[in-house]
Structure 1
Amino acid sequence: MKILMVCLGNICRSPLAEGIMKAKVPQDFLVDSVGTISQHEGEHPDKRAVKTAANHGIDISKQRSRPITQADIENFDKIYCMDIDIYEDVISKAKNEEQRQKISLFLTAAGEHKTAEVPDPYWGDMKDFEEVFQLLDKGCEAIAAQLKSSSNP
């Protein structure tokens, strides 16, 4: 199973989601993260995201930001977008219905309200990063349970 987490710059939400999900799924699952823009390409996650993850025993410090590619849409089994704008951007890159079916809003996939979005903590403080971590942790738990049960019928 190949899982892709997507946010805007790939320095806050999706790196956190990647790190959390890696801790919740079997090691044979591939989990990665990307952004829809290339502004931060090659950069490590935001220091506040790294610190928040570390506070929970998860190391995301070695991750590097990269923009989403067409190959990502073709090769990943599940693509989780952090908000509506990201979702619409990624869906617009899908070439067919099969690819569109792989793409969903993260919180919708986790069983939350259909319009629920993971807020971007970038302009906030450590409290905002912790709130996003908790939201992602709960969502990753739900998604990981779904994925593990569907891969072990």
Structure 2
Amino acid sequence: MRNLLTVCLGNYCRSPVAQIALARRGGTAVTVRSAGLIGKWQGQPANPSMINAARRLGLDLTSHRAEQITLEALDWADEVLAMDTAVLDTLRAICGEANEHKLGLYLPGRDVPDPMGQGDEVFNDCAVLIEAGTALHIGRGHP
């Protein structure tokens, strides 16, 4: 069993979709959690536009509640997948040497663009990109 942690800025749009998409693809082989760097939306549901975008892919985000990153979550994870380079840089600054080897981008060499403040089409494109990225972490040589 692998423990994956997906992280974005607020755990409000991107990382929740990655969490449920990875969990669906990985089944019992993975446990997936998500978190955000900031606590602005802590305890709140996912962004309504992202809930709708995820629904189009057969993913149910309605039970999601945003969580802020903790050192305990970093310790728990086998892999920490940052949604963009800025998030990855912040994680490197806070995680300490013991966890740095676990860090990487969700899409190696590429950011998952933050859809906040944009239209539904951007949220839909973001969700599709995230769902497609699950193949990079589960399957094809991964347990």
Query: What band does the TM-score fall into relative to the shorter chain?
Result: over 0.9
Structure 2 residues without counterparts, runs of 5 or longer? none
Alignment partners' CA distance in 1, 2:47 and 2:129: 18
8 Å CA contact retained: 2:54, 2:127: yes
**2:129 is aligned with 1:135:** yes
Matches within 5 A, 1:42-57: 42-57=43-58
8 Å CA contact retained: 2:57, 2:128: no
- TM-score, normalised to structure 2, is 0.94
SS at match of 2:59: coil
SS at match of 2:113: coil
SS at match of 1:71: helix
Per-residue deviation at 1:28? 4.2
Per-residue deviation at 1:75? 1.1
SS at match of 1:6: strand
Alignment partners' CA distance in 2, 1:58 and 1:138: 13
Q: Quick one: percent identity of the two aligned structures?
A: 25
Per-residue deviation at 1:150? 4.0
8 Å CA contact retained: 2:85, 2:105: yes
Amino acid at match of 2:27: P
- TM-score, normalised to structure 1, is 0.88
8 Å CA contact retained: 2:82, 2:88: yes
1:145 corresponds to:
139
1:111 corresponds to:
none
Amino acid at match of 1:58: L
SS at match of 2:4: strand
2:119 corresponds to:
125
Provide, for residues 57-83 of structure 1, a one-character-per-residue CA deviation record: whole Å limited to 9, x for no partner. 111110110110011111100100011
2:26 corresponds to:
25
Alignment partners' CA distance in 1, 2:142 and 2:112: 25
1:104 corresponds to:
104
Amino acid at match of 2:106: F
Provide, for residues 101-136 of structure 1, a one-character-per-residue CA deviation record: whole Å limited to 9, x for no partner. 10101110xxxxx2x111001111110011111111
**How many residues of Structure 1 are paired with residues of Structure 2 in the alignment?**
142
